[in-house]
Structure 1
């Protein structure tokens, strides 16, 4: 039988209208209603009509968690994955699917994380496309206030840090494209240490269970089902880098042949395609893309 990994995208993959084809399903209606009680606002309303709010961290992250988890629940009625992973916010959906915490606890964590990150300031993030990796590593070594926040693929990374340090790295690397990200702070960098410390209190209040299947974490792309290890890795995620390129490279090493990206867009399957060859790549972005049986 084909070994399958499910992967879940993070912030940046959201799109207006996402999840709205789920509204006719009773199980989805129940989750949307429960999310409104936890969040104090309507995921449906924002995903349907409010593009400006949907692009703001405070709303983006909970909306993605709700929509991706509902799609995963429906898919899990048909079969379960052999391994899961998620990109940044997507790791919370992966942990939920693996049974590490219940759905409501996961949404409360995401709500708190989103609020803290939305209030972060004093840094920036820039995506670099087509660059010399050796020059990049040297530039980051020479600019300690900039870090490799997202190592997405051999040709795409995100730099995070103080504006001065990030601009210094860009000037030394000569990337084909440098795209500033519309985020409030320097996510996945040491500049988030204060925010991460505040978030830890919330994280410590949630009980983690042993995972039902291995999880590849952002900060340590080695599969684990251990509750304590997975919680410790999540603690490190806010200040640590997303090692997605290494996650993609690890998939064939663990006999994964098929990867299903669950959620809006196709960012992760695109990154995996550029990193690991020979994998079957599929997307489940909507009800229409769910398997019939």
Structure 2
């Protein structure tokens, strides 16, 4: 067994909503058949809430937008897949020096770091994920804020900021920055605000601006009531000091030595719900403060890899200064390991594991 002095230092990143898609159907069944007790614990909670089991959802013959994308199902599914991946990381080779996550991935990061135990994690994730089961509050849309080399585009940034100012001055419009996501900006708003964005933003690659299906207006003032409800339902006693440092959506660090659990509860159910989530900053602070040798993104899916690479390019981590550096560097030495990719997954696991 390696000593910690010879282990590779790893930053672990948990994904958010939108990463369990048609290609990920069967992820738990295929890769985590050994996590029977863990999955059963989640499903016992969900049965009590009158919800469909994640084991059943994951084992379905066909992927269903109606069943797999609503928050009350997607959140628990993604948590189960990501946490199960986290359990499989080879601790003999890797020392996990910090954990962060994107959006809902913050809740998963809390679980990975031990700030939420299994009961607390499914309680927080399932409760917050089910807040809009009676109807979505607003929506989200994503738009590139970078050029083809994955460098920031001041022109696009200025255009997005101008759009937000116009929305603020337009009666009936609500539109906010929701997430800084590497080279992308995620916007949150009501229908009028999102329609204004679709009218004003030039089309790119016949893809953007792109609405995010079944996503509410996360990380915006439109979720003030969701924040209040979350605080009323989820006790402060769920939250503990982490075993591993956590980096949140402001770039603030929570350690095992200095965490005030009441403030962690307040941030998680307050600021994190109603204010912008700066994932780019979280990644950049994490690598600068904890100097990992590699970065691992938990599965399911591969949708977060580009945003993480763009964030790393933004601070020249691993010597990457543009998209080409990342693409070519990965062929020589896979510094960014996506556990949701079949080709990269074995790099994180003990030899002989799935």
TM-score normalized with structure 1 length:
0.90
Determine if the alignment matches structure 1 residue 257 to structure 2 residue 293. Answer: yes
- Between 1:261-270 and 1:71-80, the stretch displaced more is 71-80
State the 1:204 CA deviation: 2.7
Q: Take 1:175 and 1:223, find their aligned partners in 2: how far apart are those partners?
A: 37
Q: Which residue of 2 aligns with 1:91?
A: 106
State the 1:84 CA deviation: 0.3
Q: Take 1:125 and 1:184, find their aligned partners in 2: how far apart are those partners?
A: 6
Q: Is the 8 A contact 1:136 1:172 kept in 2?
A: no
Q: What is the root-mean-square deviation of aligned Cα atoms in Å?
A: 2.2
Q: Take 2:243 and 2:217, find their aligned partners in 1: how far apart are those partners?
A: 33
Q: Which residue of 2 aligns with 1:51?
A: 63
Instruction: Describe the superposition over 1:168-207 as per-residue Cα deviations: whole angstroms up to 9, x where unpaired.
Output: 2343342522111112532221111111111112233543
Determine if the alignment matches structure 1 residue 233 to structure 2 residue 242. Answer: no
Greater C-alpha Rg: 2
Which of 97, 103, 111 in structure 1 is aligned with 2:118? 103
Q: Which residue of 2 aligns with 1:19?
A: 28
Give secondary structure in 1 for the equivalent of 2:311.
Answer: coil
Determine if the alignment matches structure 1 residue 182 to structure 2 residue 213. Answer: yes
Q: Sort the Cα spacing of 1:258 and 1:230 in 2 relative to 1 into closer, same or farther, 3 A.
A: farther
Q: Take 1:19 and 1:197, find their aligned partners in 2: how far apart are those partners?
A: 33
Q: Is the 8 A contact 1:119 1:184 kept in 2?
A: no
In structure 2, runs of 5+ residues without a counterpart are 1-5, 147-155, 169-173, 319-334
Which of 160, 168, 178 in structure 1 is aligned with 2:188? 160
Q: Which residue of 1 aligns with 2:309?
A: 273
State the 1:266 CA deviation: 2.1
Q: Which residue of 1 aligns with 2:178?
A: 149
Q: Take 1:31 and 1:122, find their aligned partners in 2: how far apart are those partners?
A: 31
Q: Take 2:33 and 2:235, find their aligned partners in 1: how far apart are those partners?
A: 36
Q: Take 1:229 and 1:80, find their aligned partners in 2: how far apart are those partners?
A: 27
Give secondary structure in 1 for the equivalent of 2:214.
Answer: coil
State the 1:23 CA deviation: 4.4
Q: Is the 8 A contact 1:86 1:217 kept in 2?
A: yes
Q: Take 1:222 and 1:98, find their aligned partners in 2: how far apart are those partners?
A: 15
State the 1:282 CA deviation: 0.5
TM-score normalized with structure 2 length:
0.75
Q: Take 1:231 and 1:80, find their aligned partners in 2: how far apart are those partners?
A: 27
Instruction: Describe the superposition over 1:142-174 as per-residue Cα deviations: whole angstroms up to 9, x where unpaired.
Output: 3232111121023x1211111112222343342
Q: Is the 8 A contact 2:14 2:102 kept in 1?
A: yes
Give secondary structure in 2 for the equivalent of 1:147.
Answer: strand
Give secondary structure in 2 for the equivalent of 1:119.
Answer: coil
Q: Take 2:124 and 2:210, find their aligned partners in 1: how far apart are those partners?
A: 29
Give secondary structure in 1 for the equivalent of 2:179.
Answer: strand
State the 1:130 CA deviation: 4.8
- Between 1:237-246 and 1:59-68, the stretch displaced more is 237-246
Q: How many residues align?
A: 289
Moved >6 Å (runs of 4+)? none
State the 1:64 CA deviation: 0.9
Q: Take 1:148 and 1:261, find their aligned partners in 2: how far apart are those partners?
A: 24
Q: Is the 8 A contact 1:21 1:286 kept in 2?
A: no
Determine if the alignment matches structure 1 residue 211 to structure 2 residue 242. Answer: yes
Q: Take 1:122 and 1:61, find their aligned partners in 2: how far apart are those partners?
A: 16
